[in-house]
């Protein structure tokens, strides 16, 4: 009798343990979120790079004074149209005028010295060497006069061609160093080639090469799309903006734009962008180039990771970075997930 009671007790204990294990397994399964998965696919594609900037002409002149001095007047403003030969800026003339007068006096003295040496040489009082030295002194004084008169001419800045003032770099009252640019002029003529100057990030700059094709739109011609080509890449970042400048030569055909107009460019690089391709439904909380996805490598637990978006179309999202080493992304069931959540895979 005691043996029967012992067997029954053991059976009940084993039965209760089995029920607890089954309940635990059932609870674990019920906590898992059913999701659909898609494989992370490596992909390379040509993604247009978008940039914007201002129009200017390829024939650009950086105008400066040959000699240094204090700026007395600047008669042109940024964006102003100027004609060839128009006076644009002047230096205060006091200093250079005094230099010219000083050298003129030196020439007059050298002429008197030479004339006296000639008379003395005729009277056999001065030697031939003294006469020659006086002549040399006169020639040097005249050369100095030519130099200061030439410099005096370049205390004024005149427009070398018809065009627009693209930028005014200095103002009245500032001290201009010799050769330091004061005004930047963009030449405008029938032969002028128009360019769009735009700033890019370092990644975009590295992808683009000179010769890449582009399309440009300008607000002034809303119904037109103009072909363009990357003609120049800057080798240094702009110290003010930190961006890298490129220039696109734009073919406007019969259209006549104006300097300083705003333009948008879509540039097609020759080098494809390497990254990943995932379904559109997998992307969460996209904000500009940044977004989030849920990934899994074992199809049991998920991880929430941030990604950098290269581009988006109607069906696919092209990811630049963030998915390296991951196997699957969640494409449905994401609203019920959290980082580290358990999942069950459904077809």
Over range 5-17, report the average pLDDT.
46
- What does the pLDDT read at residue 30? 55
> Which of 118-127, 138-147, 155-164, 257-266 tops mean pLDDT?
138-147
- The mean-pLDDT minimum among 83-87, 184-188, 246-250 falls in 184-188
Please enumerate in sequence order all residues whose Cβ is within 8 A of that of 94, keeping only pairs 6 or more positions apart, or say none. Answer: none
pLDDT category, 54, cuts 50, 70, 90? confident
- What does the pLDDT read at residue 190? 56
User: What is the overall mean pLDDT for the chain?
Assistant: 82
Which has more confidence, 321 or 140? 140
pLDDT category, 191, cuts 50, 70, 90? low
265 and 52 in contact (C-beta within 8 Å)?
A: yes
- What does the pLDDT read at residue 263? 92
**What is the largest distance, in Å, between two alpha-carbon atoms of the chain?**
167
Cβ burial 181-193 (10 Å sphere, 16+ → b, else e): ebbbbbbbeeebe
- What does the pLDDT read at residue 3? 43
Residue 103: CB atoms within 10 A of its CB come to: 19
Which domains, from first to last, does the chain contain?
32-45+273-345 (2.40.420.20), 50-59+191-267 (2.40.30.170), 94-154 (1.10.287)
- What does the pLDDT read at residue 189? 64
pLDDT above 80: residue 181: yes
137 and 109 in contact (C-beta within 8 Å)?
A: no
Portion of the chain with pLDDT greater than 70, in percent: 88
- What does the pLDDT read at residue 46? 67
Query: Which tens digits make up the pLDDT trace of 203-218?
Result: 788 888 899 999 999 9
**H or E element at residue 6:** helix 2-31
Query: Which tens digits make up the pLDDT trace of 115-125?
Result: 999 998 888 88
Query: Residue ranges of the alpha helices (H) in 80-225?
Result: 94-122, 128-153, 202-207
Query: Which tens digits make up the pLDDT trace of 23-32?
Result: 444 434 457 8
Q: Give this prediction's pTM.
A: 0.48
CA distance 267 to 335: 37
- The mean-pLDDT minimum among 69-78, 97-106, 181-190 falls in 181-190
pLDDT above 70: residue 328: yes
Number of H helices, E strands in the chain: 4, 23
pLDDT category, 45, cuts 50, 70, 90? low
194 and 172 in contact (C-beta within 8 Å)?
A: no
DSSP for 288-340, please give it.
TTEEEEEEESSSSB-EEEEEEEEEE-SSEEEEEES-TT--EEEEESGGG--TT
pLDDT above 90: residue 22: no
Q: Which two tokens stand for residue 226?
A: 């103009």
């Amino acid at each position: 009798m005691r043996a029967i009671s012992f067997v029954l007790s053991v059976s009940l204990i084993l039965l209760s343990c089995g029920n607890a294990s089954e309940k635990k397994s059932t609870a674990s399964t019920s906590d898992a979120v059913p999701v659909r998965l898609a494989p992370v696919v490596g992909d390379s594609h040509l993604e247009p790079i978008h940039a914007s900037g201002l129009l200017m002409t390829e024939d650009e002149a950086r105008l400066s004074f040959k000699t240094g001095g204090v700026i007395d007047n600047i008669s042109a403003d940024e964006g102003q149209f100027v004609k060839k030969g128009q006076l644009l800026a002047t230096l205060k003339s006091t200093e250079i005028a005094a230099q010219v007068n000083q050298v003129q006096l030196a020439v007059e003295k050298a002429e008197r010295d030479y004339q006296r040496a000639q008379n003395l040489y005729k009277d056999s009082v001065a030697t031939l060497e003294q006469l020659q030295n006086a002549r040399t002194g006169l020639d040097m004084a005249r050369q100095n006069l030519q130099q200061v008169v030439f410099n005096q001419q370049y205390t004024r800045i005149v427009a070398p061609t018809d065009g627009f003032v693209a930028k005014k770099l200095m103002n009245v009252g500032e001290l201009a160093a010799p050769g330091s640019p004061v005004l930047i002029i963009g030449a405008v003529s029938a032969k002028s080639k128009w360019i769009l100057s735009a700033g890019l990030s370092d990644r975009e700059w590295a992808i683009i090469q000179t010769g890449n094709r582009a399309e440009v739109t300008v607000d002034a011609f809303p119904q037109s799309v103009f072909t363009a080509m990357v003609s120049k890449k800057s080798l240094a970042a702009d110290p003010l903006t930190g961006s890298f400048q490129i220039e696109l030569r734009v073919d406007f055909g019969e259209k006549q734009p104006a300097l300083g107009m705003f333009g948008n460019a879509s540039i097609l690089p020759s080098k494809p962008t390497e990254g990943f391709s995932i379904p559109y439904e997998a992307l969460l909380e996209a904000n500009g180039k940044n977004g989030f996805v849920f990934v899994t490598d074992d199809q049991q637990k998920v991880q929430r990771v941030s990604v950098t978006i290269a581009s988006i179309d109607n069906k696919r999202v092209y990811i630049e970075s963030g998915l390296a080493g991951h196997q699957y992304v969640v494409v449905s069931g994401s609203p019920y997930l959290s980082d580290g959540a358990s999942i069950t895979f459904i077809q």
